[in-house]
Amino acid sequence: MDAPAVERFVEDGMRILAVSSRYFKDRDLLQINKIAETVRVSVDEFRPKVPLLVALRKTGIKDRHWDEISRIAGVEVKVDETFTFQKAIDLGLLNISEEVCNVGEKAFKEYQIETMLADMKSKWVDKNLSLKPFKAVTSVITGWDDINMLVDEHIVNT
């Protein structure tokens, strides 16, 4: 499930339903307006569940995060192919939605750091300092400019 897409869909849906309802009401299309209101109420009832859905689908969430959610919830949250959003709600995760959102955000930030670190490491693989003979008794360090630029970039990123 693409949780950010669900979040956008719900927010866009609420906006469209509000505009539609006013449109139908202004034109005395009461039967159609009644349908729009019924749909709006359904979407509005689902809306508070969206942050939990987004948190549970954060990129980077790992077993240790599920263990933390289980500890907070006081029940084992076992994520496998049978795990559904309804099961999450049945386990009471909606009641601790804020804490689950915090765990999801933490997992995503950890993922971003891990990704950035892996990218930094990959850029260092082919960087070398070498000594180039200079005159008879000394050497010049070459490759320093690329390495210095990469160090500066990584300092800014961290």
Q: Please report the pLDDT score of residue 154 as a whole number.
A: 86
Contact 102, 51 (CB under 8 A): no
Question: Residue 124 and residue 85: Cα distance in Å, rounded?
Answer: 42
Q: Please report the pLDDT score of residue 118 as a whole number.
A: 94
Q: What is the pTM of this model?
A: 0.76
Q: Please report the pLDDT score of residue 100 as a whole number.
A: 97
User: Torsion over CA of 60, 64, 69 and 72, rounded to 10 degrees?
Assistant: -140
Number of H helices, E strands in the chain: 7, 2
Phi-psi map region of 134: left, alpha, beta (phi>0 left; psi -120 to 50 alpha):
beta
Taking only the tens of pLDDT, the chain with its 158 residues reads: 899 999 999 999 999 999 999 999 999 999 999 999 999 999 999 999 999 999 999 999 999 999 999 999 999 999 999 999 999 999 999 999 999 999 999 999 999 999 999 999 998 888 887 778 877 777 777 777 888 888 888 888 87
Q: Please report the pLDDT score of residue 128 as a whole number.
A: 80
CB atoms under 10 Å from CB of 119, counted, come to: 11
Contact 59, 108 (CB under 8 A): yes
